Structure 1
Amino acid sequence: MTAIPLVLDGYLDELPVPGDDGLTARFRVISSPTDDATDETVFACHAADPHVAHALLNLMQPGDLLRIGGHLAVPGPGDGGGPRLAVDSLELLTPAPARNSAEMTLDRYSSYLVVFNSAVDTVQVFAEDGTWVGTAEHADAITDLIHAHEAGNPPPTP
C-alpha cells in the first residue's frame, strides 16, 4: 500500500463515528477544488491521534470547513478496500452555519404556550389548558396579547 502525504480543505460530511477504543474516530470529508458538485471527492478518513479524535467527536459538526493533513493510503492490487486518509492534523477553518433545529418551536410564557414558526413572523399563543388565545403579529407583541386575554378582551377565534 502506498501512503501519500496530503493536506486538503473540505467539509465534514456527517458526525464522526468513535472507534471501539474511544480514542479514534472515523469520518468523511467532502472536498471540491471548484465548488462544483461534479468535482467533489469524498475522502474516507481515520484519526488515530486521540487529540484529533477528541476534537472531531466533541467540537466539530457536519458542514464545518476543515483543513486536514495526513497520509492518503492507496491500496494496491489485492490489498482490498479503497483509499483512506489517515489524519494526523486538523484545523477548523469555518464553522458550519447555525441550523434551525426545527421549523416550529414551542415555548412557555408563564401559564401560556407560544408556537414560533420560522416561516412566518406571527406567533400563535395558547393557554396552558390548550385554549387558543390569539395570534401575535410578531414576538414583541406576545405580552400585549396575553394582557388583553387576561383583561377579558381576547381576539376572535380563527
Structure 2
Amino acid sequence: MAADDAELAHAVIHDLVPGDKLRVTGHLRLPRTPDEPMWLVVTTLAVLETAPELSAPAAVATALIERYGPYVCWFDAGTTDVEVFTEGGTWVGTAPEPNDLGELLEAFEHRQAAGGER
C-alpha cells in the first residue's frame, strides 16, 4: 500500500485496530508481469465502525476478531469455538469450530426470516 499522505499513514499505523470496518477509496495497480508488485494507492480512508472493545488485555494476544459481512466472529486460540454476533451486537450463537460457521449463520438467517428467535 502506498501512503504519500502523512495523515493517512498516521491513521493506519496508530488509530486503526483489527476488526475496524473501513471504507477505502483509491486505485489498485495490477502488475503487468509476474515479477512486478501490486500497488494499492489510497486516497481516502474512513472508519465506518470501530471494532468492539476487549476487556481482558491478555485475551487480545490469543484472540482474533473477523467480520463476515454483517457478522463479527470471535476466534480464541485457546478453543475451537467461534462466538458470533451481528455487527449491531445481537448474539448469533457459538460454532463448535470454524468449519461450522456457515451452518450457524444459515440457521440464524432462517430464524430471522421466519420472524425472530425460536
TM-score relative to the length of structure 2: 0.43
The structure richer in helix per residue is 2
- Structure with bigger gyration radius: 1
Tell which has more relative contact order, 1 or 2 (C-alpha 8 A, sep 6+): 1
The structure richer in strand per residue is 1
